């Protein structure tokens, strides 16, 4: 039996929630609009600057910075040989490729030894970051593969494998990548450039990650770009447009970037080591490292910059089943939350400049809490509906508002892609993406919200695992 006091309580709560959700929705929408405008400006400036750039200048110079490309590999036997070959063929002079076999259970190491005629060498890694035991280090007998170093170590996770790679690396810049990614041949040239063109020291650079599902990959090289056939990866194309072309580009423009994708990013090695390397205790090690590096430099009062370039540099295979997608989003949520909690001292702290006052609060509000608020709103609405108090007119008008805004942002992201690098050239590609944008809010978005809610639950219950990420691999697309 509902008493009158309870009824009043419900009604006031309902009104409060109505307003809260509306204000929140307007806030998040406004942030999208502001980011889009800033990103458009940054993109224009980048393209103007880049019209004067000839990357052969970097390629031809003996003064170009040296780079160590570090790729952790765990059970990658399907594609490892081709992927390493493509890494060795990148257009850059002064670089080494370090493959860290993170205790694979399959024959990843054996395949590498066989394909590249590797031999074990006596090398004591420079243990500036503490890691799990290194079992052996291998170099190729064939001088054609002199850039290749393979490290075999006990399984310790991606962060530990990357730290081993950092210890073994000899160069001033490190590029950390997922070994199953396909890099554009000029990606190192493009990623190195921001380190050379800023007055303020650049500590990290990231680039746009693209979805490679349904693209044709031959011998570890992307030869044909296509929009994914399946719905789930196709939505992720839109998500990546929004995140990279509209989001990170804008954040980098105001030096407020907090995340360089783990799939491909370049870092100043000395700063990484000084900050302590990748953190083993979080599943969001990529974001956590960058936040920690920036925090350290803010505390030392040393100005630094994190750059981002809009060129497509790296193609990765996106999850194409609901199950894998949910695991990925669960992990991303935990990683974000863990980083934000670890560095909570920075939030709304003016000592950390734009990071403390703008970037981190926005991550808390619009990245971490967004799915929770959405979920709570939905639960609350269901309660009202069951009790017969739902105002359906308001519900549908609000739904229309959110839906139309979501479509607008996606179409705006497609416009960014069109006006920047137009990787999807056929008109059919664009129509497919627009249709996907129409379906995304109903078919895809609820699943990711649920995965994020579950991620928060797992965080509270102390779940630490990555969740197995099986990939179909590119091998089947070989001609």
Partner 1 sequence: MQETILNILPTVNNQLVWFNLYLTVGFIGVTLGLFAFILLSRLRDGFRFAHRRRIEKDIQSFLTSYIFEDHTDEEDLTAFSRQYIQNRAHRQIVLENIVSLHKNLIGESADKLRHLYQLLGLQQYCKQKLYSGSWHKIAKGISELANMGIHKYSELIRTFINHPHPTLRSEAQVALLKLKSDAPFSFLDDLKEPLLDWQQLQLARAAHKSQLLSIPNFERWLGSEEESIVIFCLRMISSYGQHNAANAILALLQHPSVKVREEAIITLRQLETFDAVPILTSMFAKESTNIQLEILKALPAIGDHQSIPFFEQVMSIENRRLQLAAARALCQSGQEGKNKVLAIKNDPEHALQQLAATALSYQV
Q: What is the residue whose two structure tokens read 């075999």? A: 152
370: which residues sit within 8 A by CB, 6+ positions away? 28
Indicate the residue among 303 and 321 with the shorter CB distance to partner 1: 303
Under the binding rule (CB under 8 A), the answer on residue 386 touching partner 1 is: no
Under the binding rule (CB under 8 A), the answer on residue 442 touching partner 1 is: no
Among 278, 315, 381, 412, binds partner 1 (CB under 8 A): 412
Q: How far apart, in whole angstroms, are the C-alpha atoms of residue 290 and residue 357?
A: 17
- Which residues in 278-335 belong to E strands, given as ranges? 305-316
SS3 426: coil
Indicate the residue among 146 and 230 with the shorter CB distance to partner 1: 146
Among 20, 111, 243, 415, binds partner 1 (CB under 8 A): 415
Q: Interface residues for partner 1 in 185-224 (CB under 8 A)?
A: 193, 195-199
SS3 180: coil
Q: Which residues pair with 137 in a beta bridge?
A: 121, 151
Q: How far is CA 407 from the centre of its chain?
A: 23
Among 300, 393, 468, 476, binds partner 1 (CB under 8 A): 393
Among 427, 461, 462, 476, binds partner 1 (CB under 8 A): 427
Q: How far is the CB of 415 from partner 1 (least distance, A)?
A: 5
Indicate the residue among 229 and 418 with the shorter CB distance to partner 1: 418
Total residues at the site for partner 1 (CB under 8 A)?
62
Q: What is the residue whose two structure tokens read 């929004």? A: 242
Q: Is residue 82 within 8 Å of residue 290, measured between CB atoms?
A: no
Q: How far is the CB of 173 from partner 1 (least distance, A)?
A: 12
Task: Please choose, out of 62-70, 276-284, 320-328, 365-373, the segment that lies near partner 1 by the rule CB under 8 A.
Answer: 62-70
Query: Which among 297, 76, 105, 107 has a CA at the least distance from the CA of 202?
Result: 297
SS3 269: helix
Q: How far is the CB of 334 from partner 1 (least distance, A)?
A: 33
Exposure string of 66-99, with b = 16+ CB inside 10 Å and e = fewer, is: bbbbbbbbbbbbbbbbbbbbbbbebebebbbbbb
Q: Interface residues for partner 1 in 237-296 (CB under 8 A)?
A: none
Provide φ and ψ at 283, rounded to 5°: -90, -5
448: which residues sit within 8 A by CB, 6+ positions away? 325, 329, 371
Among 166, 203, 304, 414, binds partner 1 (CB under 8 A): 414
Under the binding rule (CB under 8 A), the answer on residue 225 touching partner 1 is: no
The secondary structure element, H or E, covering residue 113 is helix 108-116
319: which 2 tokens?
Answer: 């999850």
Among 407, 441, 463, 473, binds partner 1 (CB under 8 A): 407
88: which 2 tokens?
Answer: 């060795």
Under the binding rule (CB under 8 A), the answer on residue 421 touching partner 1 is: no
Among 52, 105, 300, 301, binds partner 1 (CB under 8 A): 52
Residue by residue, DSSP assigns 452-479 as HHHHHHHHHTT-----------SGGG--
Indicate the residue among 407 and 447 with the shorter CB distance to partner 1: 407
- Which residues in 333-427 belong to E strands, given as ranges? none
Among 389, 435, 439, 469, binds partner 1 (CB under 8 A): 389
Task: Please choose, out of 52-60, 293-301, 341-349, 364-372, the segment that lies near partner 1 by the rule CB under 8 A.
Answer: 52-60
Task: Please choose, out of 297-305, 370-378, 393-401, 462-470, the segment that lies near partner 1 by the rule CB under 8 A.
Answer: 393-401
Q: How far apart, in whole angstroms, are the C-alpha atoms of residue 133 and residue 127?
A: 11
Q: Which spans of this chain sit near partner 1 (rule: CB under 8 A)?
A: 2-4, 6-8, 10-12, 14-15, 18-19, 22, 48-49, 51-52, 56-58, 60-65, 121-124, 126-127, 139, 170, 193, 195-199, 389, 391, 393-394, 397-398, 400-401, 404-405, 407-408, 411-412, 414-415, 418-419, 427, 430, 434
């Amino acid at each position: 039996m509902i008493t009158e006091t309870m009824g009043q309580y419900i009604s006031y709560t309902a009104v409060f929630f109505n307003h809260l959700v509306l204000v929140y929705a307007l806030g998040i929408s406004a942030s999208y609009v502001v980011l889009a405008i800033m990103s458009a400006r940054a993109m224009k400036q980048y393209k103007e600057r880049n019209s004067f750039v000839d990357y052969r200048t970097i390629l031809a110079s003996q003064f170009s910075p040296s780079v160590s490309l570090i790729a952790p590999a765990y059970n990658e036997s399907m594609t490892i040989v081709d992927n390493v070959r493509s890494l060795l063929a990148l257009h850059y002079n002064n670089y080494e490729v370090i493959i860290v076999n993170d205790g694979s259970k399959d024959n990843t190491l054996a395949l590498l030894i066989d394909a590249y005629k590797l031999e074990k060498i006596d090398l004591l890694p420079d243990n500036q970051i503490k890691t799990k035991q290194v079992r052996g280090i291998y170099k190729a007998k064939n001088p054609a593969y002199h850039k290749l170093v393979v490290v075999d170590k006990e399984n310790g996770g991606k962060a530990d494998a990357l730290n081993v790679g950092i210890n073994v690396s000899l160069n001033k810049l490190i590029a950390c990548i997922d070994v199953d990614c396909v890099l554009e041949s000029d990606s190192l040239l493009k990623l190195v450039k921001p380190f050379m063109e800023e007055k303020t020291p650049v500590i990290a650079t990231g680039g746009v990650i693209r979805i490679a599902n349904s693209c044709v990959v031959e011998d570890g090289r992307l030869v044909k770009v296509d929009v994914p056939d399946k719905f789930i990866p196709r939505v992720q194309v839109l998500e990546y447009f929004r995140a990279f072309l509209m989001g990170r580009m804008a954040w980098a423009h105001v030096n407020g970037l907090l995340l360089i994708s783990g799939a491909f990013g370049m870092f100043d090695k000395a700063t990484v080591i000084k900050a302590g390397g990748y953190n083993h205790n979080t599943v969001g090690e990529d974001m956590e490292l960058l936040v920690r590096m920036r925090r350290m430099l803010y505390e030392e009062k040393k100005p630094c910059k994190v750059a981002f370039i809009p060129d497509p540099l790296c193609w990765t295979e996106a999850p194409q089943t609901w199950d894998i997608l949910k695991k990925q989003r669960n992990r991303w949520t935990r990683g974000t939350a863990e980083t934000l909690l670890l560095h909570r001292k920075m939030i709304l702290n003016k000592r950390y400049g734009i990071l403390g006052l703008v970037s981190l609060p926005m991550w808390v509000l619009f990245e971490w809490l967004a799915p929770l608020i959405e979920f709570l709103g939905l639960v609350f609405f269901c309660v009202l509906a069951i009790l017969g108090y739902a105002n359906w007119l308001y519900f549908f008008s609000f739904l229309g508002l959110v839906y139309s805004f979501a479509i607008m942002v996606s179409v705006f992201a497609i416009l960014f892609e069109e006006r920047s690098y137009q990787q999807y050239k056929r008109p059919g590609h664009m129509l497919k993406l627009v249709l996907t944008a129409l379906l995304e809010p109903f078919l895809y978005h609820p699943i990711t919200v649920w995965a994020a809610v579950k991620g928060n639950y797992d965080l509270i219950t102390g779940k630490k695992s990555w969740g197995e990420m099986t990939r179909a691999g590119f091998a089947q697309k070989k001609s």
